[in-house]
Amino acid sequence: MEDFSGKLAVVTGGGAGMGRELVIQLAAAGCDVATCDIFEDTVAETATLCSDAVRVTTHQCDVSDEDQVLAFRDAVVEQHEAECVHLLFNNAGIGGGGEFVTGDRDAWERCFGVCWYGVYYNARAFMPLLVASDEGYIVNTSSINGFWASVGPTVSHTAYSAAKFAVKGFSEALIADLRMHAPHVRVAVVMPGHIGTSIAMNTGRVLGGPEPEDLSAEEVAEIRAQMVASGLPVGNESDDHIRAAVAQRAIDFRDKAPTTAAQAATIILDGVRQNRWRILVGDDAHVVDNLVRQDPEGAYEMEFMERIVANGALNAFANES
């Protein structure tokens, strides 16, 4: 699919980050777009940033809720008078639910629900419309955490990693499924490294947690303990200092990433144009992929993060692990 002009794309998680940039770049390429997000205000803003030469519709949808996904699909069909869809970008995702042994089950299942079931429900809902096209592409966003279930040896990262492994396996299995039953539809799995998105800020909003400035003394104490355990000298810092550090960490995750959301979207769309099924996004994704392949048995040892950082990747995570 070298040309997106005149086609219809569906993008989940279009309110910020890679989703927003995918919508903007698809629209600039002459593609009509239907995009959804759990936050109606942010996805509406995305539409204002798009070319007026195409039609961009916005929809409020929690992708972890199948009924909402089906309503989203029906709205897309109605508003675009669509008999088919050419592109489906299952991009929506959140973090949270890192700890399985001692963590909160609701947060774990919320993260897994968005990151895995959001892909599954939308694939189910839109597959008949993709099959009805003359050429189709389903693009599922996994992560480097879809082949390396870690952000460091002292940080729990279970829900997100489990979901992203599921997305990767599902996408790879679809290659043969589509070849047998719908050979004009292709699939790609996207595996980004550290991308400059608002996922760290939006996760708390989705999970219903407090803003950093509203963290309780008990929550601050827990965060301080985690920081101290990772080697950060914050044991004697004030509660307000910890709150400010939490807020700044989310901002830095977005603003100091080695790959911007716009650059990531370009890499993804170029991968689609090149008919690729495996799209690594960012130099750090390539570094981690190579290191895990070289030493899968050592991938979860204490020194593995040091090897990643020594190869110039994931520096932002080094102090947290």
For the stretch 248-290, pLDDT in tens is: 666 666 677 889 999 999 999 999 999 999 999 999 999 999 9
Put simply, whether the predicted model's pTM sits higher than 0.85 gets the answer yes
pLDDT value at position 108?
A: 97
Q: Which two tokens stand for residue 93?
A: 């995702």
pLDDT value at position 252?
A: 62
Q: Above 80 in pLDDT, residue 246?
A: no
Contact status, residue 127 vs residue 73, Cβ threshold 8 Å: no
Task: Compute the distance between CA of residue 166 and CA of residue 113 in angstroms, rounded to an integer.
Answer: 11
**Amino acid at position 143, single letter:** S
Mean pLDDT of the chain: 92
Positions of E strands within 158-304: 185-192, 195-196, 259-260, 278-281
Could you tell me the pLDDT band of residue 293, with boundaries at 50, 70 and 90?
Answer: very high
Q: Which two tokens stand for residue 60?
A: 């409020």
